[in-house]
Amino acid sequence: MRHYRIIFLLLSSLLLSSCAYHKLASYKKQKELLITSDNLKPIIPGNGAIKYKASIDVLNKHFTGTIVLKQTDAETKHLVFVTELGMRMFDLEMKGDSMKPVFVFDPLNKPQMVNALVRNFETILLVNWFNKNAEIREKSGKVIVYLKNGKHNMFLKKGEDLFLTEQWVFNTHKKESKTIYSDNYGTIKLKQYGLVKLYIELEKINE
């Protein structure tokens, strides 16, 4: 009986996830658009650093601390997560459209954990969007931006000015994550779906 319940739940979530994809995929292509900082505001500024109060829930672990985001040279950006006590937990380096860990605190340095963190911070920071040709799509007056990145289908919803408000990532048709951006990137919340549950919440620190 229990098996049937699990199968039912799995099938329901697959169906709902697939529905979410088909709803977004039904928007009609209007034109192509090269994504640059002129039409999409990057989260990491070109000069200076920004800091976020961060809360990360992954694999039944709860971490809090400060995330520092900074461009260190023309091609390189860093994301450093430091706990309240000053312990550096990880340092992720971004060059172009790739992100790699340059330091991970030993107790966290497990492939499943590191992959989940890298993949989701890539999503939050829009690493895969810039300098790519995306599609502007429209349905009933609503506009979204679509990008195919390998087997990932990614959708953006923009708000006022150049800031975005929502991002969905699908692994083919299966919902992988949803990110909500509010107050011009003042708060960012990402939820990862699937077997590895992950939730990231960032709140900008105004100094």
Partner 1 sequence: MKKIILLIFISQFGFAQNFKTVKDTSALKAKIEAMSKTVNSIESDFTQEKNLSILSEKIISKGNFKFKKENMLRWEYSTPYKYLIVINKDKIWIKDDKKTQKYDMNSNKVFKEINDVMMSCVQGNIFKSGKFKVAYFENEKYYKLELIPLQKNMKESLKKINMYFDKSVTSVSKLDMIEPNEDYTTLDFNLKSQNAPLQDNIFTAK
**Shortest Å distance, C-beta 126 to partner 1:** 20
Close Cβ partners of 11 (under 8 Å, ≥ 6 residues apart): none
Q: From 167, 139, 166, 173, select the one nearest 154 (Cα to Cα).
A: 167
**Shortest Å distance, C-beta 189 to partner 1:** 12
Per-residue x/- track, 26-45, partner 1 (CB under 8 A): --------------------
Among residues 56, 80, 127, 169, the one that binds partner 1 under rule CB under 8 A: 80
Choose the binding region for partner 1 from 98-106, 128-136, 141-149, 155-163 (rule: CB under 8 A): 98-106
DSSP 197: -
Beta strands in the chain (DSSP E): 28-34, 49-58, 61-71, 76-82, 88-95, 98-104, 133-139, 142-149, 152-158, 164-171, 174-182, 187-192, 198-204
Among residues 72, 133, 149, 182, the one that binds partner 1 under rule CB under 8 A: 72
- Taking the CB of residue 42, how many other CB atoms lie within 10 A of it? 17
Per-residue x/- track, 116-135, partner 1 (CB under 8 A): --------------------
**Shortest Å distance, C-beta 205 to partner 1:** 5
Report the residue number, 51 or 175, with the smaller CB distance to partner 1: 51
Q: Does 22 bind partner 1 (CB under 8 A)?
A: no
Count Cβ neighbours within 10 Å for each residue of 189-206 and write b for 16 or more, e otherwise: bbbbbeeeebebbbbbee
Residues lying near partner 1 in the complex (CB under 8 A): 49, 51, 53, 55, 62, 64, 66, 68, 70, 72, 78, 80, 82, 84-88, 91, 103, 105-107, 205, 207
